[in-house]
Structure 1
């Protein structure tokens, strides 16, 4: 970790990014720990229209030269990126076919296809497969920096703490820039080093010349501000990102989160609705549903949850395994027993702090508080001062009669982010008053 901090301070920034189709801070594509599983920081967004043109050009070329292994790998990576931008998982089978065709044409030393398959596996939440593909690519070509980005994302989601940090360091060594600095920032944040994380994101922003890259960095800085009780600054950051790139949907959803935390409910509903119309991510649907719930709009909340379930089913039909988001939804709005089953399965696949926290909450909702506390402690073990994690552990401690510990954790949750959830932050305040 000391070497990672030194490199963040001194490295020169380089421009340009590969479209790696990485998962988001919550495991989904964009990031909030309150929804889907977040976020090794994604690569910066690629313009939808330019990507569509690139896909069309590669499709045309491959009709003429079907034996072009490099072209098939590039097309597969483009399909992964298109799925990320549009939240349309039907691109994943297309990506899978294109990347495997590339590998069949060039089975030896095909780092582009291996890296693309790793990015695809990350997007489908098949993180163990993503790790294996990335490691194969690194073994073939140790200088191939995009493989380290895929590897860092996979290891972060798998909960391999030291391995993820090392992969980020390897990425920084080979390609200091937006993709590496944003991943470094997330690694630092998970270890409680918020100031260092902000420094890394500021360096990424200051070295970003492309508007899409710059908007992405502005958005990540705003997310960091929002997570740590700088909500007004976060709102300004999201607006800066939208000014830089008006089509950047995550900033629109981020602005909605900040507006909800500041009590600007009508503005938040408007912005969430606009973001969902562009990119119907389950994370956005869950957040808007909970906002409606907090406002007493039961029918509107049910509609968002219905759409979330439909999106989850569509994703599953296209090879995405996402028991985390569904488990989080079921724990608070559906069947807690099913939530526990889903999240135990997810924990068996990956020991990530987000999964530990979600499983702890599902166990609490089912009355298994002693076991829940073990997982809540695991979620916070590496120093991530996450308000939702603190709230969940505080409620578990409260149920176990550990009054002092509960008071401490509920207070810490509200001090870290007073608006961490439109539903649960008010409950935290009420329960803290009861304990006091």
Structure 2
């Protein structure tokens, strides 16, 4: 009898194993699949499964897949409202959809879903905590991102995606040591993941290690597992190439990103940027307009407005600046911090004194390198050149944290030095800006050339100051 019972048990186990082998999890639902026991590969995962895999591992997801995942989780949660894990997945999907589309209505939905996950889920819920950190990054609320990210790491120290979000939080706070620790931990936990390479490339870029950054992002794009992920890394590679002044190479990266994922709007804006630098203005304007139609981002509106202004099309520029103000109001109403982009706009195209007020507040709250540059420039525009130079030095001096090789930052420093009659350093920095990237801005690159011409060559009779 014991032998017979053992045989029956083994038969039941074989049936169970065969049943599981013929099933798949799609959108959190177990679905039986036909399986004939052959060597054929199982069917590819559906859109919801692909998007869920992306948002739970911190990589870009395709917009159509995200829409399917959101609909799937919303239906599931109407039937199972106490499923904390699904609330966390839904919240992360809202964050990613908002990031990809610049639709700030997603922020409130994401916040509600993630806090619900904390309320109904386990006491230690690292996925929801990490989602709140990612939401804070999307809103440019870096102190909150640090708080939620560190809580996620405390709840699950080996959760590598939480360390990735902390890199963004520490970068926004100007905490270079924190960035280094987070990248070191991320590399230790997931050394070969394409997402790790992409994060490392961003950190290397900020430190001025341009060749290392390009190598890491190229490897990440080659190893990416989905078209949306690969397109995001190609866009990052194009951005790095453009910052080096390599217009043709940047355009190739941006166009390949768009072929890989037509919804990659950052690549479409990059395409416009590269086309404008190549003198293909009509195509550039079309690329910008197409991107803004689908992703009305304030940064994109500022960039297109300045391109119009460089072409002498003041009315068209003002339309984009009005769009920028509208997007800033919407984003701030949704809990985002838009003082940096608004301060940059006001310094050059509005009220520089207001720009100083906005950016001083931003510096007091989250003193990143981009804020240092913007505040220094705003102070220069109000005539406070000495203090302006202090912030410009922070943004451009590697010993003070500003290791990034930014032509715009160096240009700002050169113009500020000219305002202080420090003509030698002014010439050096203006030349350096044009060496880094001769096409860095349709407005400011020509200004750099004009200013250099006005300064002329240093006098051989007078000693350098």
What is the TM-score when the length of structure 1 is the normalising length?
0.90
1:209 pairs with 2:221: no
Q: Deviations over 1:65-111 (max 9, x none)?
A: 11111111111111111111111101111111111111111351100
Greater mean alpha carbon deviation, residues 95-104 or residues 242-251? 242-251
Runs of 4+ that moved beyond 3 A: none
Partner of 2:256: 240
Match for residue 84 of structure 1 among 87, 96, 99: 99
Mapped contact 2:258–2:268 kept (Cα < 8 A): yes
Alpha-carbon distance in 1 for matches of 2:206, 2:82: 44
Partner of 1:289: 305
Deviation at 1:18, TM superposition (A): 3.9
Alpha-carbon distance in 2 for matches of 1:124, 1:260: 29
1:384 pairs with 2:420: no
Q: Deviations over 1:347-380 (max 9, x none)?
A: 0011211000000000000000000000000011
Alpha-carbon distance in 2 for matches of 1:20, 1:152: 17
Match for residue 174 of structure 2 among 153, 159, 174: 159
Alpha-carbon distance in 2 for matches of 1:20, 1:407: 49
| 1:302 partner SS | helix
Q: Deviations over 1:388-414 (max 9, x none)?
A: 000000000000000010000000001
Alpha-carbon distance in 1 for matches of 2:367, 2:332: 21
Q: Deviations over 1:34-66 (max 9, x none)?
A: xxxxxxxxx653111110110011001101011
Match for residue 117 of structure 2 among 102, 118, 139: 102
Is there any run of 5+ residues in structure 1 with no aligned partner, and where?
A: 1-15, 22-42
1:410 pairs with 2:430: yes
1:48 pairs with 2:63: yes
Mapped contact 2:245–2:440 kept (Cα < 8 A): no
Deviation at 1:177, TM superposition (A): 2.0
Q: Deviations over 1:153-210 (max 9, x none)?
A: 1001110001112111211222232322111111111111111111111111121132
Partner of 1:19: 55
Mapped contact 1:148–1:167 kept (Cα < 8 A): yes
Alpha-carbon distance in 2 for matches of 1:220, 1:122: 18
Match for residue 369 of structure 1 among 379, 385, 405: 385
Deviation at 1:232, TM superposition (A): 1.2
Alpha-carbon distance in 1 for matches of 2:263, 2:120: 37
1:150 pairs with 2:186: no
Deviation at 1:247, TM superposition (A): 2.4
| 1:273 partner SS | helix
| 1:221 partner SS | helix
Partner of 1:3: none
Mapped contact 1:20–1:116 kept (Cα < 8 A): no
Deviation at 1:239, TM superposition (A): 1.2
Q: Deviations over 1:206-242 (max 9, x none)?
A: 2113222221221111111100121111111111112
Partner of 2:244: 228
Alpha-carbon distance in 2 for matches of 1:150, 1:266: 38
Mapped contact 1:20–1:119 kept (Cα < 8 A): no
Match for residue 277 of structure 2 among 246, 249, 261: 261
Deviation at 1:253, TM superposition (A): 0.7
Mapped contact 2:234–2:257 kept (Cα < 8 A): yes
Match for residue 361 of structure 2 among 342, 345, 355: 345
Partner of 1:315: 331
Match for residue 266 of structure 2 among 250, 267, 278: 250
Partner of 2:350: 334
Higher relative contact order (CA 8 A, sep 6+): 1
Mapped contact 1:252–1:271 kept (Cα < 8 A): yes
1:218 pairs with 2:234: yes
What is the TM-score when the length of structure 2 is the normalising length?
0.84
Partner of 2:156: 141
Greater mean alpha carbon deviation, residues 297-306 or residues 99-108? 99-108
Alpha-carbon distance in 2 for matches of 1:318, 1:351: 22
Greater mean alpha carbon deviation, residues 266-275 or residues 166-175? 166-175
Partner of 2:139: 124
How many residue pairs get aligned? The number is 400
Deviation at 1:151, TM superposition (A): 0.8
Partner of 1:66: 81
1:302 pairs with 2:338: no
Give the number of the structure whose alpha-carbon radius of gyration is greater. Answer: 2
